[in-house]
Structure formats: C-alpha cells, structure tokens
Amino acid sequence: MLDDFIARAALAGIGVSVATGPLGAFVIWRRMAYFGDATAHAAILGVALALATGLPVAAGTLVVALAMAATVSGLAGRGWAMDTTLGVLSHAALAFGLVAVSFVPGLRVDVQAFLFGDILAVGRGDLGWIWLGAVAVAGLIAWRWSALLTATLNEDLAHAAGIDPGRERLVLTLALALVVAVALKVVGALLIAAMLIVPAAAARTLARTPEAMALAAVGIGALATLGGLAVSLRFDTPAGPSVIAVAAILFAGLLAVAALRRKA
C-alpha cells in the first residue's frame, strides 16, 4: 500500500489533520490566526538554514518555527499590539527566508514546493515524520486539554484554579511550531494557517462541545485531504491548494446547512 504515492499522500494529509484539528480549534478560540501565519512563514527561513548547513529540512524548519513562535508568544505576554506586530513579523520572515534561499549555492530545490506543499512527493521517511509529529501534537493537547481550555476561556479563572496561562500559551506555541514543521511538506508555508483554521471553523457549525469540535475538525481535515487529492488527480490541479479549496467548500456547505436549520 505504501508503495502507492497516492496512498502515501492520503496518509500524510490525514496525519496532518490529526494535528491541525484540535490545535486549529484553539487557534480559533484564541483568535491566533495571525500567530499561525507568522510561525508558518518563518518556516521558509528554516528551509534556507537547513539547505545552507546540510541539516534535514524538518529540523531547520522546527528550530526557526520554535524561535518565531516563542518570540510572538513573548510579545503577546508583554501586551504588544499584536495585529501590527504579527503582520510585520509574518511578512518579514517570509521575505528574509526567500532572500536567504537565493544565497544558498548550487540550490536544486523547488522553493515553490515549500510555499504551497508537495503532498504527492511524500516518501516513507516523510510519512513517518508527519505521523510522529501529529501523534506528539495530539498527545500534548490531550494531556493539557483541561488546562488549555480553562486558560482559553478565562485567565482569571485559570489563575484561581492554579493554572498558569503563560505556561499553557507556551504549550500551544510548541504545538504550533511542531505542526508547521510537520505540515510544510504537505500544504506548504502559505497554506498551513488555512489547514489550521478552515476545518476547525467548519467543525464549529456542527459541534456542541469543545471536544466534539476538535474531533470534527480532524474528520473534516481528513475529508478535505481525500477530496483535494481526488480533484488534483481528476483536473491536474496543485494538490496542496486543492486540499484547502475542498476544505473551504466544505466550510461553505456546512455554513449554509446551519443557516437553513436556524430558519427552519
């Protein structure tokens, strides 16, 4: 089965959905969309670092994503105006990453694959890395679920319960950086934030509890992956963007169904 590149692509996309589903729910609840963008865009700088030093691309991506996520988290804790700060950091990181890649001598890598993903080129090693990271992220969020949810709902309530909101923000920061490193190969730096937000936003129209929303986001992400791959094969469209397009269609459809139910 794993010799089939379509099967590997499908398993890779589902693995990413396992990580982005529950994390995406917290991204929406905490209004961290720009946070995800900044961390994902910084991944390109990590790619340049890895190519220049001979490190695995996943390792370079993870290091820089962690650095960016920690920086953003620290600024958020100091009360900075985050819209402007994140906008500057996000686009500056992407620009510096693309410039840095151009200085790598003898580069024979398609940078576009890192921007938009290349899910059809996922190999067995990539698949192992994706699922290892996905299980780690899902396990981390499951372990800290109650504390994360309390800190998200009300920081004063979290303090009263003996929970440090800053520590829980750091947990989300680490999870987000790991998701960026895992998802870069599949959907690329420019679409990672969409994979976090769109399935979770679609799941919100179905779910009545936080746990149900997280699980539904995983299912919708997996369905978008399979649908996007089918569209890509049928119409010869880019696979990564096709996955996000199908996720957006699912979101629009579920939103329409929810609106009809409210009118009924």
**CATH code at 142?**
1.10.3470.10
pLDDT at position 75 is 72
- Residue 49 CA to residue 101 CA, distance in Å, equals 8
pLDDT at position 256 is 93
Residue 120 lies in a domain: yes
Residue 255 lies in a domain: no
Per the structure, the count of domains in the chain is 1
pLDDT at position 2 is 47
pLDDT at position 1 is 46
- 9-23, 45-59, 237-251: range with lowest mean pLDDT: 45-59
pLDDT in tens, 37-82: 888 888 888 888 888 888 888 888 888 888 887 777 777 666 666 6
Amino acid at 132: L
Mean pLDDT of 115-135: 90
Residue 139 lies in a domain: yes
Mean pLDDT of 135-141: 95
For residue 13, pLDDT over 50 is answered with yes
Residue 256 lies in a domain: no
Query: Quick one: three-class SS letters along 39-99?
Result: HHHHHHHHHHHHHHHCCCHHHHHHHHHHHHHHHHHHHHHCCCCHHHHHHHHHHHHHHHHHH
Which structural domain, as residue segments, surrounds residue 84? 5-190
What phi, psi does 162 have (nearest 5°)?
Answer: 80, 20
Residue 232 lies in a domain: no
Residue 228 lies in a domain: no
Residue 213 lies in a domain: no
Question: Is the pLDDT higher at 84 or at 252?
Answer: 252
* pTM for the model: 0.90
Residue 235 lies in a domain: no
